[in-house]
Structure 1
Amino acid sequence: MPQPDDNPGSPPHASGTTNAGTAPPDPATVEKLRSTIGSLSTATLRQLDADLPWYRGLRPDERSALGLVAQKGIASFVNWYQKPVSPAWVLSDVFGTAPTELTRSISLQKALQLIRVVVQVVEDHVPFLAPAADQGPLREAVLRYSREVAFAAADVYARAAETRGSWDTRLEALVVDAILRGESSDALRSRIAAVGWTSQARITVMVGSAPPEANVGFLNELRRVTGRLAEDVLVGIQGDRLILVLGGVRDAPKAYPRISELFGDGAVVLGPEAESLVTASSSAQAAFAGLTAARAWPGAPRPVSSEDLWPERVMSGDDTARRSLVRTIYRPLVAASNGLEPTLSAYLTLGHSLEATARALFVHANTVRYRLRRVSDVTGWDPLIPREAYVLQTALVVGRLAASAAPAPTGTGPPAPTGRGSRPGTVPSR
C-alpha cells in the first residue's frame, strides 16, 4: 500500500513539507542564514544610510529603533523560511514594541521604503547563502516574506491611526468642554497645542442641535466642509447639541449659512468673536444663552448672532445681555446728547411715525430723520428697521431700570459700542 508522501494527489505531510506545499529548505542553507544574520543586518544598515536620505536625518534613538526592526525582520525571515506559518507572527516578531516609535518617526511610505531596502539586501546575498539549486526557492521565499511584512506594516499603521484618531477625538472633546466651562490654564493651552490648533485669527463659537445621524460619517463630512471654510475647527457633541469652535472663517457671510446647514433642526446661534481659544468661553456662553432664548423669535435667521437675540435673552433672565444693552446702546445714547435718546423714545412710542415724533418734539421731520441716523451711527442699530428698533426699545427699558437702580458712573465716557458691522455672521432682519 503506498505511503501518503508517495501519492502526488494527497495533501502534504506536516513533517515532510512546509504548510505552503513546497519542499522543506536545505538545513545547510538555513544554518548559513542563521550564521549570517549579523552581517546581513550590518549590510542593511549601511544600505539604509546610503539609499535613504531621510534615514540619515533621523535622531540616534529613531535610527536605533528602525535598525532593530530591520534586524528582527531578517532574523524572523530565517525562522519563517525554515517553517512558514500564519503572517500573524510579523506583528510581534518583527515590530515587537516598536509600532509606536515607528509610526511617530516615519510615514507608511518611508516604512515601505525601509522594507524594500532590507529585502533587496537579503536578495543580493542569495548567491552567497545557498547553492545554485536552492537559490530560486530562496528568492521566492524572500519575495513572499516581503509581501507579508508589507501587509503587516500597513496593519501596524492602520492600528496606530485608529488609536491616534480615538485619542484625538477624546482630547478634542476635553478642549471643547474646557472652553465651555471657562477654564483658562496652562493645561488648556497644552491641550490646544496637542489638537493641532494653529489659527491666529479671531474665534467664533457656533451652537445648535445635532442631527439624528451624528455618526462617524457625519463628523467626517462636517470636518471636510468646515475645513474649506475656516482655518481651524473643533467639534463637540454634547447630548443633542452640536458645538463648533471656528477659527479664521473665510468669507463669513457665505460660510456661516453653509455651515448651519449641517446642524439639525431648530436655531443655530453664533457667539461674539473672541481673541483666542483661551478666552472663547464668553462667546460659548453667549451662544448657548441665545440658543435657549431663540425659540421666542420664530422668524430668526439661521444662523443668528447671539447679540441679535439680546431682547429675548433679557426676558429669559440673561444678565449678560442686559448689561450689554446698557453698555453698548443706552449709555452711548445718553452720552451723545443732542436729543438722541428723547427722539428715539418718542419715535418708538408714537408708532414709528416721523411726523408724529416731529410734532411731539416741536422740530422738523428732517431733524427727526437726522437724529435717527445719528442713533444708528452711535449704536450700530437702525431704528428704521423694525427688528432693530425692537432691540433699541429693549435697551431703553433696561437702561432706565439700571439708571434708577444706581447712579451712572462718572469719569471717562462709556466704552465704544461694538456696532452692528462687528458681529460675526449677522444676518440682517431687514
Structure 2
Amino acid sequence: MDQLSAPSVRALRQAQNTLIEHSLDRISAAHPWYRTLPAASRDQIQTVARLGVTMFVDSVGERITSTDPSEIFNVAPVALTGTVTLEQTLELVRTVVDVVEEEAPDVVPAADHDAVRVLVLTFGRDVGFAAAKVYARVAEARGAWDARLESVAVDAMLHDSAEDVATRAGAAGWRGTGPVIAIVARTVLDALATSRLRHECREFVQDCLVSVHGDSVIVVLGGASAPPEQVSEPSGDAALAAAARRVAGVLDGVVVIGPVVAGVAQAGRSLRSALAGLRALAGWAEAPNPVHADDLLPERLLAGDPLAAEQIRALVAEPLRNMGALYEETVATYLALGRSLEMTARTLFVHANTVRYRLGRVSKQIGWDATDARDGLVLHLAIIVGRLAADRDEQPSTMGQ
C-alpha cells in the first residue's frame, strides 16, 4: 500500500478517534438491525470497527510495511458470525469505509486528498475479502461439526437404545416427532456433494440426517410434506415414502429404501433393513433401482437378516394365516405344484375357478400375487417361516428338565 506524507499521517492519527466515533454513530443510524442486537454483540462490533480504523491509519504510516486485514476480526468471537450475517458484516464495513472516505481527506493536506481516498477504498476492499474468508472458514468448521453430529446420530440408530437415538438426533438438529424412513446408497460423495444432498433433502422434508461411510451414504428423513400429486393423501407415511423416492432419485449408484417407522427413536429398524437390503442386493440381479428393503425379503432372509424373518412374518405370513386355513393351503399347494391351477384344483378337490378366486383374494388383501414368480417366492418363504415359527411356539418347553 502506498504511503502518505508524514504531515498526512500525523493528521490522520490526530483525527483517528473522531473517525471512529463518527463511524459508530453512522452504523447505529443506518442499520436498524444493529440496534436490536444484544449489548455484548454491539460492543464486539464496535471493537472491530475501532480496530479497523486504527489499522487503516497504521497501514499508511511510514514505518508500516504490511497489514493483514483479517486480523481485524480476531478481536471478535467466532460466535458473532452466528449472530451477524456476512451480508450484514459487509454492510458495516461499507459504512465505516464511507465515513472514512468522506472525512479523512479533509484532515490531510490537499495534495494527499486523492491518495487518501484510494487508500481507504483499497483497505475497505481488502477488509471485505477478509470478512468473506472468515465466514467461509466458520461455515466450513460448522459444517464439519454438524456432519460429525449427524454421523454420531446415525451410529446411535444402529447400536444404541431408542432414548439415546432420540437424544443424539436432537443434538444433530432433528426436531420432528412423526414417521421416519432411511435410505442407503452405494456411492461416493465429497463434502460439497454431501452438502448439496442435504440441501436437496430439505426441499422435500423437514428433518434429515446425512452420513457418509466410505463408499456408502446413509440418509434418514422425517417430516415430509405431501407432494403435489398426493395433496389429498391423509397419510404421513405415504408422503414420507414419496419424499424418499424423490431423494433416492437424486442419488447415484444402487439405492435401497427402508420401511417407514413410527419415529426417530425407531429409525434404527428402517436403517438396519436398508443396510441388510444393500448387502443382499447381489442375490436379485433384476432388482429395480431404487429398490425397497421389503422387496428384498427373500434375499435378506437367506442372508441371515433377523429383521427379514420378523418382517416377512408380519407382512405376509400372519396376514395370510389370518385369512383362514383354506387360503394358506391353496397358496401353499399352488406354489408346491409349480403354479398349476389344474393340479392345485385336483389336489384340493375344488374347481380351478375356486383356486383362481382364492389366489386373487390373497393378492388383493396382502399385496403379493402367487401367480407372479417374484411374489410367489415371497409367499412361499413366508409360509415356510410362518410354519416354522408356529411349530416352535407349539413345542413344549424343556427348560428345567
Q: Quick one: structure 1 residues 91 and 189, their matched pair in 2 at CA, closer, same or farther if it must change by over 3 Å?
A: farther
Choose the corresponding residue for 1:202, options 148, 173, 179.
179
Q: Render the CA deviation track for 1:44-101: whole Å, top value 9, x for unaligned.
A: 222111111111221211111111111111122221122453342x222x22231613
Q: Equivalent residue for 1:241?
A: 216
Give the alignment partner of residue 262 of structure 1, picking from 245, 251, 258: 251
Provide the rounded CA distance (Å) in 1 between the counterparts of 2:242 and 2:370: 23
**AA matched with 1:130:** V
Q: How big is each residue's C-alpha offset from its partner over 1:101-128, in whole Å with a ceiling of 9 and x where there is no partner?
A: 3422222221111111112222333365
Deviates more, 1:378-387 or 1:215-224: 215-224
Deviations 1:108-151 (A, max 9, x none): 22111111111222233336523444433333332222222222
1:86 corresponds to which residue? 66
Tell me how far 1:237 sits from its aligned partner.
Answer: 2.3
Separation of aligned partners in 2, 1:145 and 1:254 = 49
C-alpha separation in 1, matches of 2:302 and 2:124 = 71
Q: Distance in 2 between matches of 1:189 and 1:63?
A: 37
Paired letter, 2:181: T
Q: Does 1:25 align with 2:6?
A: yes
Q: CA deviation at 1:164?
A: 2.2
Are 1:376 and 2:351 an aligned pair? no
- SS of the counterpart of 1:244? strand
Aligned position for 1:10:
none
CA contact under 8 A between 1:225 and 1:259: conserved in structure 2? no
Output aligned runs, 1:205-354, within 5 Å.
Answer: 205-211=182-188, 214-216=189-191, 218-219=193-194, 222-223=197-198, 226=201, 232-247=207-222, 248=224, 256=245, 259=248, 262-264=251-253, 267-337=254-324, 339-354=326-341
Amino acid of the residue matched to residue 280 of structure 2?
A
Q: Secondary structure at the match of 1:63?
A: helix
Task: Tell whether the 8 Å contact from 2:277 to 2:300 is kept in structure 1 after alignment.
Answer: yes
Distance between the aligned counterparts of 1:134 and 1:322, measured in 2? 85
Match of 2:98 among 109, 117, 120: 120
Letter in structure 2 aligned against 1:259: A
1:199 Cα offset (Å): 6.1
Match 2:117 to one of 117, 121, 139: 139
For residues 356 and 253 of structure 1, the distance between their equivalents in structure 2, rounded to whole angstroms, comes to 41
RMSD over aligned Cα atoms: 3.0
Secondary structure of the residue aligned to 1:174 is helix
Relative to structure 1, the CA distance from residue 61 to residue 286 in structure 2 (aligned partners, 3 Å threshold; closer, same or farther) is: same
Candidates 44, 48, 51, aligned match of 1:69: 48
| Equivalent residue number for residue 4 of structure 1 | none
Q: Is the 8 A contact 2:205 2:243 kept in 1?
A: no
> CA 1:34–1:272 in 2, change beyond 3 Å: closer, same or farther?
same
Asked if 1:396 is matched to 2:383, the reply is yes
Residue 235 of structure 2 corresponds to none
Report percent identity of matched pairs.
Answer: 39
Q: Which amino acid aligns with 1:202?
A: P
Task: Write the deviation string for residues 23-55 of structure 1: whole angstroms up to 9, x where unpaired.
Answer: 5331xx434433443333222222111111111
Give the AA of the match of 2:6: P
How has the CA–CA distance of structure 1 residues 372 and 96 changed in structure 2, closer, same or farther, with 3 Å as cutoff? same
d(CA) in 1 for partners of 2:216, 2:114: 64
Alpha-carbon separation, structure 2, partners of 1:278 and 1:114: 45
8 Å CA contact 2:181–2:244 kept in 1: the answer is: no
Q: For 1:97 and 1:206, locate their aligned partners in 2 and report how far apart those are by CA, in whole Å.
A: 44
Structure number with greater Rg is 1
In the superposition, relative to structure 1, how do residues 82 and 196 fare at CA in structure 2: closer, same or farther (>3 Å)? same
Cα 1:192–1:64 change in 2 (3 A) is: farther
* Structure 1 residues 380 and 169, CA gap change in structure 2 (3 angstroms): same
- The Cα of 1:195 is off from its aligned counterpart by 4.3
Please state which structure has a larger fraction of its residues in helix. 2
Q: 1:254, 1:123 → 2: CA distance?
A: 53
**Match of 1:234, SS?**
strand
Give per-residue Cα distances to partners, 1:372-402, cap 9 Å, x unaligned: 2221233222222221111111111111111
Q: Is 1:156–2:145 an aligned residue pair? A: no
The one-letter code of the counterpart of 1:24 is S
**Structure 1 CA distance for aligned equivalents of residues 328 and 176 of structure 2:** 42
Q: Is the 8 A contact 2:89 2:131 kept in 1?
A: yes
Moved more, 268-277 or 126-135: 126-135
Higher mean alpha-carbon deviation, 122-131 vs 37-46, is at 122-131
Task: Provide closer, same or farther for how the CA distance between residues 185 and 82 of structure 1 changes in structure 2, counting only shifts above 3 A.
Answer: farther
Q: Does residue 167 of the first structure (1) align with residue 145 of the second (2)?
A: yes
Q: Separation in 2 of the partners of 1:66 and 1:190?
A: 35
Distance 2:335 2:80 in 1: 70
**What is the SS of the residue equivalent to 1:125?**
helix
TM-score (normalised: structure 1): 0.78
8 A contact 1:203–1:277 mirrored in 2: yes
TM-score (norm: length of structure 2): 0.83
Q: Corresponding residue for 1:3?
A: none
For the residues of structure 1 that align with 2:163 and 2:244, how far apart are their CA atoms? Answer: 31
